[in-house]
Structure formats: structure tokens, C-alpha cells
């Protein structure tokens, strides 16, 4: 509540202005036009003294009654003031929208933020698969945006989305839900076909990654000593070396 709103607060039957935990109403004061907080303040924004009250409103009243009301108003203002300080940076959505150059984007971000939930479960599974203890080992914002920075192919974007959210049906998963009998890898048939095995550690896939690096090195995109990291190869982390654009694009495609 701003100071202006506080001064406009009604004194009577107001659940915020309580004495002995009840809203109040003083008929005689009301009859003399005392209705809002501002009516109890003087020109310098201080509460009227007893003498000022009596002079201004020709009222005779018990001083304790007046001081009780002032005390209730002061404690209300102290509370409102704290709320005001805490919310001083708050700008409501409509205000932002009217100022914004790109309104569609703002509305989109707002709608997405109210509907989306972070994929904590899949993120934790990735950390476990990659033997990472630190939750900050992967910058998930970077990871989710990586594909769209280096390709416009919807097929690749969709695959990478499914991959990051672990929505790819591996043999291990299909066996668990009763669609297959054998959870082993379709390429090597030696280990259970889990995501990390299928895209990184399967012997057939290791050969595939090795060939990619050989080709990139022949094209002078990667150096001879380039060491491919699983997080980078799988698109969980962007490559930041010299030719990062070509490298990131190659790993995705």
C-alpha cells in the first residue's frame, strides 16, 4: 500500500483499522466529517494533536480514545510501509505490457511460465547417468536452447527435445512396459539399451563418434588433439572451442 492509499483508507468499519481486534465506528466523529486517515493529519503530514483535533472538529472526546486510534493507524502504516518497500520493484504485467516493444514475446513468456514445470526429474536422471554430483554441472537453459541455435531442421529439433527429455523409447524402456522381451542394445546386443549406451557408450556408437572426429579433423574444424566429451557430443553442453558453430552443428546432425 502506498502512502497515498494509506491516507485514503477509511477509518470506520475497516478490517485493517482495529482496536482490541475489532473494526471501529465513532458516530460523532463521522458526523463531523472525519472519515479517512487523511482527516487526522495536518498540513505537515503529522497526526493532529489533541488541541488541533478539538479546534478543527469542535469535538470533545476521551484522549485515550484518540491515542488508541492513532496507535492503530501507526502500526498499520508500519506494516504497509514494509510491504511497500518489499514490493517497490514490483511492476504489474499490464504496466510492462504497455511499455513493451515486443508484446507477443512478453505474453508468450508469461503464458509459458504459468504452464510449464521444470523437467527436474529428467535433469536428475541425466546427472546420475553422467555421474555428476553437482546440479550446476549442466546449464539446462543452454542445453535446451542449443539445438535451435545451430539448426532450423524441425526433425533434429524434435529429436533433440525428445532426447533431452528422455522421451526416446529404448529397448530397456520397451521391455519395462512389456512391448519387447529383450532389453539389450539393437546394435551390439551386449548391454541393456539405455539412453546413454545407445547414444554414447555402445561400441558401435563409439566408432561412429570416432569417425565424426576424424572427418572434422580432416576438414580442419577440430584439432588433432580434440577430445570429445560426452556432454558436448550429446548436446547437454555447447562446445566452446574455436570452431564451435560447425562442431555443435555436426554433433547435432
Taking the complex as a whole, the smallest distance from the CB of residue 203 to Zn ion amounts, in Å, to 6
Locate 90 and state its grid cell: 514490483
Taking the complex as a whole, the smallest distance from the CB of residue 234 to Zn ion amounts, in Å, to 15
Long-range contacts of range 55-63, CB-CB < 8 Å, 24 or more positions apart?
A: 57/29, 57/32, 57/33, 58/32, 59/28, 59/29, 59/32, 61/26, 61/28, 61/29
Helix (H, G, I), strand (E, B) or coil at 242: coil
Taking the complex as a whole, the smallest distance from the CB of residue 172 to Zn ion amounts, in Å, to 11
Positions in the binding site for Zn ion (CB under 5 A) = 185, 187-188, 202
Neighbours of 244 (CB within 10 A): 14
**Rounded Cα gap, residues 170 and 185, in angstroms:** 8
Helix (H, G, I), strand (E, B) or coil at 250: helix
Locate 211 and state its grid cell: 569417425
**Of 181 and 224, which CB lies nearer to Zn ion in the complex structure?**
181
Taking the complex as a whole, the smallest distance from the CB of residue 171 to Zn ion amounts, in Å, to 10
Taking the complex as a whole, the smallest distance from the CB of residue 196 to Zn ion amounts, in Å, to 11
Cell 536422471 identifies what position? 125
Amino acid at each position: 500500500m502506498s502512502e497515498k492509499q494509506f491516507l485514503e483508507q477509511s477509518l470506520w468499519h475497516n478490517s485493517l483499522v482495529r482496536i482490541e481486534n475489532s473494526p471501529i465506528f465513532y458516530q460523532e466523529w463521522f458526523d463531523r466529517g472525519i472519515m479517512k486517515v487523511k482527516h487526522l493529519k495536518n498540513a505537515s503530514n503529522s497526526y493532529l494533536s489533541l488541541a488541533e483535533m478539538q479546534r478543527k472538529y469542535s469535538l470533545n472526546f476521551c484522549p485515550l480514545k484518540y491515542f488508541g486510534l492513532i496507535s492503530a493507524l501507526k502500526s498499520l502504516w508500519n506494516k504497509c510501509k514494509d510491504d511497500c518497500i518489499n514490493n517497490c520493484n514490483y511492476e504489474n504485467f499490464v504496466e510492462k505490457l504497455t511499455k513493451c516493444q515486443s508484446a507477443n514475446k512478453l505474453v508468450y513468456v508469461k503464458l509459458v511460465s504459468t504452464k510449464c514445470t521444470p523437467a527436474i526429474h529428467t535433469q536428475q536422471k541425466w546427472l546420475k547417468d553422467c555421474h555428476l554430483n553437482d546440479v550446476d554441472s549442466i546449464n539446462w537453459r543452454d542445453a535446451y536452447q542449443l539445438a535451435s541455435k545451430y539448426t532450423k531442421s524441425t526433425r533434429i529439433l524434435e529429436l533433440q527435445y525428445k532426447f533431452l527429455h528422455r522421451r526416446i523409447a529404448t529397448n530397456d524402456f520397451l521391455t519395462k512396459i512389456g512391448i519387447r522381451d529383450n532389453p539389450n542394445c539393437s546394435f551390439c546386443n551386449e548391454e541393456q539399451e539405455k539412453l546413454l549406451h545407445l547414444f554414447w557408450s555402445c561400441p558401435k556408437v563409439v566408432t561412429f563418434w570416432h569417425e565424426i572426429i576424424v572427418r572434422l579433423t580432416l576438414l580442419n574444424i577440430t584439432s588433432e588433439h580434440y577430445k570429445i566429451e560426452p556432454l558436448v557430443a550429446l548436446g547437454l553442453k555447447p562446445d566452446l572451442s574455436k570452431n564451435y558453430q560447425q562442431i555443435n552443428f555436426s554433433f547435432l546432425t
